[in-house]
Structure 1
Amino acid sequence: MEFGLADLEQLVAQALLPLFRIASVLMTMPMIGTQLVPVRIRLGLALAMTAVLFPVLPVVPEYDGLSGQVWVLIAEQIVIGTVIGFTLHILMETFAVGGQLIANQMGLGFASMTDPANGTSVVVLGQFYLMMVMLLFLAMDGHLVIFEILAMSFEVLPIGDALPLSNLYRIALAGGWLFSAGMLMALPAITSLLVVNFAFGIMTKAAPQLNIFAIGFPFTMVLGIFIVWASLTGFGSQYAGFAEAVLELIGNVIREAGRGG
């Protein structure tokens, strides 16, 4: 069996196209795709995953390495990988939005810090929720599910099939789900704090001589912290529901794109 330089070049060229899709997922997904993980480590993980998946992937057609079609295929793989990684951010940012809403209601909207992963300023409560979500994501093997979806994408959406624009539009519409899910998560705490604010308003109307603002702000803050602590008992099941919805969205987009192709 002869294996020449031309065969080696073709093998490398066929492995590069799956590498672009896998690397795009690792560069954009939460935790692995953050600034805390060096680019070299992410690239090494992408090369390792490509080496593991390449023998079981569908046969990649042969293309001329200098043709414009190859550049189009590379762009398509980057888009598909970015869509998978970006959709995961929707899950994480849902809890950041919910934490922002709760913090504003309890008077902690000014207590913000820099998120070391994304380099943005978020409220402390939102960062607390983000840390819990990331730990739960790893504890529930969410990263393994994403890698399974990534491997499945090569079966239902092989290299050469483009992701339809309708599927990209569906991902864009998922941004509305982000805010609705964040509001759903924060609704119990917001409702409880709203009742407390109504009670202070009634007290202010009934006894104007009382300095309600002096005790209302710290009382609302302490009560908000207690409500957040009490709501942690059902946080796991709430996260599991949101994670299932997001992972199902990713799977459905890939499957529908494969059927459409």
Structure 2
Amino acid sequence: MSIRIGMVFAMTPILTGMPMPASVRIMLVLGLAVALGGVLPNTTLRGAVDASDLLRAVGIEFSIGVVLALGVTLAFATFSVAGRILDIQIGFGIGQLFDPATRQNLPILTGAFSQLGLLCFFAVNGHHTVLRALAYSFEQFPMGEPWPLSESLPVVLRHAAGVFALGFSLVAPVVTCLLLVELGLGVVARNLPQMNMFVMGMPVKVIVGLSALAAWIGGAGDVVSRIFTSVFRGWEALFR
């Protein structure tokens, strides 16, 4: 049981995005496994179990945990895609900062949107839904029972295909404002070729981009809800 739970938390930024010792994460996973094992039926392998049965059960638990984690990971990837789009449009792609959630150097807004995704996840009680999904997965797919891995592939691919569409919709108004600024700068450069548009354009794009983002971020709740709703719908399709 701890393998399935551990894979879900290991492959998602739910715990890795926060400064937490590895021993605490391990104890949390083991504690959840004990808690779920005490209230859920069919959480132990029954009958005679040999090494091959044990390895098969471990493989099944591993695969189920990976598929469940992919849904959450793709939701957080949507925020990263949105931040990357803005970094390219505004011009922040040339500067990078260390992102503790992904443990790599990312542009400014990409890292900020990654942290925003983690904040929104807890704000909409996504961690509660993850725990309910884990409990329901043990009811639908008990430990050691065969699991149709091939049937989950269309669900995962459909969810992955929506990452870019949802990521763009999250920052579409800001991108539209930046495109209008680019159009205006192009008109000015056409009529005043002696002006250095690179020197003048960068501050203008930064000011307009950050201002539009500050004005839009308060009204992006519907898009954020759609992002996490897509995860829940994907899990429902897996458990049918």
Whether the TM-score (by the shorter chain) exceeds 0.5 is yes
* C-alpha spacing 1:61/1:116, structure 2 compared with 1 (3 Å): closer
For 2:2, the equivalent position in structure 1 comes to: 19
Given the alignment, which residue of 30, 36, 40 partners 2:13? 30
Whether contact under 8 Å (2:170, 2:224) holds in the other structure is: no
**3-state DSSP of counterpart to 2:106:** strand
Compute the displacement of 1:78 (Å).
1.1
Unmatched 5+ stretches in structure 1:
1-17, 257-261
Given the alignment, which residue of 31, 56, 62 partners 1:48? 31
For 1:227, the equivalent position in structure 2 comes to: 212
* C-alpha spacing 1:250/1:70, structure 2 compared with 1 (3 Å): same
In structure 2, what is the Cα distance between the partners aligned to 1:34 and 1:66? 38
Given the alignment, which residue of 105, 108, 111 partners 2:92? 108
Given the alignment, which residue of 60, 85, 105 partners 1:121? 105
**3-state DSSP of counterpart to 2:195:** coil
For 1:151, the equivalent position in structure 2 comes to: 135
Q: Give TM-score scaled by structure 2 length.
A: 0.91
Compute the displacement of 1:98 (Å).
0.6
Q: Does 1:140 align with 2:124?
A: yes
Root-mean-square deviation (CA, aligned residues, Å) is 1.9
Whether contact under 8 Å (2:84, 2:109) holds in the other structure is: yes
For 1:14, the equivalent position in structure 2 comes to: none
Q: Does 1:96 align with 2:80?
A: yes
Compute the displacement of 1:181 (Å).
1.2
Q: Give TM-score scaled by structure 1 length.
A: 0.84
**Which deviates the most, 74-83 or 35-44?**
35-44
Q: Deviations over 1:164-185 (max 9, x none)?
A: 3121342134222111211222
Whether contact under 8 Å (2:91, 2:202) holds in the other structure is: yes
**3-state DSSP of counterpart to 1:52:** helix
For 2:57, the equivalent position in structure 1 comes to: 73
**3-state DSSP of counterpart to 2:177:** helix
**3-state DSSP of counterpart to 2:15:** coil
Q: Deviations over 1:24-68 (max 9, x none)?
A: 222222221458433322221122112211122223342444330
**3-state DSSP of counterpart to 1:122:** strand
Whether contact under 8 Å (1:94, 1:178) holds in the other structure is: yes
In structure 2, what is the Cα distance between the partners aligned to 1:174 and 1:134? 19
Q: Does 1:218 align with 2:208?
A: no
Unmatched 5+ stretches in structure 2:
none
Q: Does 1:85 align with 2:69?
A: yes
Letter of the 2:38 counterpart: P
Larger-Rg structure: 1
Q: Does 1:174 align with 2:159?
A: yes
Letter of the 2:27 counterpart: G
Whether contact under 8 Å (2:5, 2:29) holds in the other structure is: yes
Number of residues of Structure 1 aligned to a counterpart in Structure 2: 238
Q: Deviations over 1:91-122 (max 9, x none)?
A: 11111111111111111111211212221221
**Which deviates the most, 63-72 or 77-86?**
63-72
For 1:39, the equivalent position in structure 2 comes to: 22
For 1:187, the equivalent position in structure 2 comes to: 172
Letter of the 1:88 counterpart: V
Whether contact under 8 Å (2:74, 2:160) holds in the other structure is: yes
**3-state DSSP of counterpart to 1:121:** strand
Compute the displacement of 1:224 (Å).
0.8
In structure 2, what is the Cα distance between the partners aligned to 1:95 and 1:76? 30
